[in-house]
Amino acid sequence: MRNRFEKDIQTLHNELIEMGAMIEASIDKAVSALITRDDSLATQVIALDNDIDNKERSIERHCLKLLLQQQPVANDLRLISTAIKMIADMERIGDQASDISEITLYIIKNNFTFSTNEFEGMANATIKMVRESIDAFVNSDLELAQSVISY
């Protein structure tokens, strides 16, 4: 029974990593679309938001299944409840990347001009924080989690 639970937890970790990769790609593409004024790329990000939403629901179902079938306690319960909270925040980051892309389309349509010097650095820092946060959770790495907090 415990072996199955551990496999299910590993699957949960893999799904979180996959969702994180989707969000990283979404942030990267959204900022690239803004900097290069690429309406096609911005449209891709908006479409990717639906995939991120679907991934959130899939992970949430997986967590609820674990709660109902395994009835975890203590550390296992905290791990699953933390994952549920994480995916909500991760989904919101995906929404924000989509929002950036919608603004990009508006900027392109109205031919607005402005400096984009800071955007790439901010996007890279955000991507790094998302990646390291997920890695810290999956690997139970407190030091890495604390380093993300100190950004």
Per-residue pLDDT of 2-17, as tens digits, reads 788 899 999 999 999 9
Residues with Cβ within 8 Å of 144's Cβ and at least 6 positions away in sequence, in order, are 132, 135, 136
Instruction: Provide the pLDDT for residue 1.
Output: 61
Average pLDDT of the residues of the chain:
94
Q: What is the pLDDT of residues 32-87, one digit of tens each?
A: 999 999 999 999 999 999 999 999 999 999 999 999 988 888 898 999 999 999 99
Helices within 37-73 (DSSP H only):
39-70
- Rounded CA gap, 6 and 22, in Å? 24
Instruction: Provide the pLDDT for residue 62.
Output: 95
Angle between helices 119-138 and 2-36 (to 10 degrees): 180
Between the two ends of the chain, the Cα-to-Cα distance in Å is 40
Strand, helix or coil for residue 27: helix
Contact (CB, 8 A) for 33 and 42: yes
Instruction: Provide the pLDDT for residue 46.
Output: 97
* Residue 99 C-beta-side C-alpha neighbours within 13 Å: 6
Confidence of residue 137 (pLDDT cuts 50, 70, 90): very high
**What is the rounded average pLDDT of the residues 118-123?**
91
Contact (CB, 8 A) for 59 and 15: yes
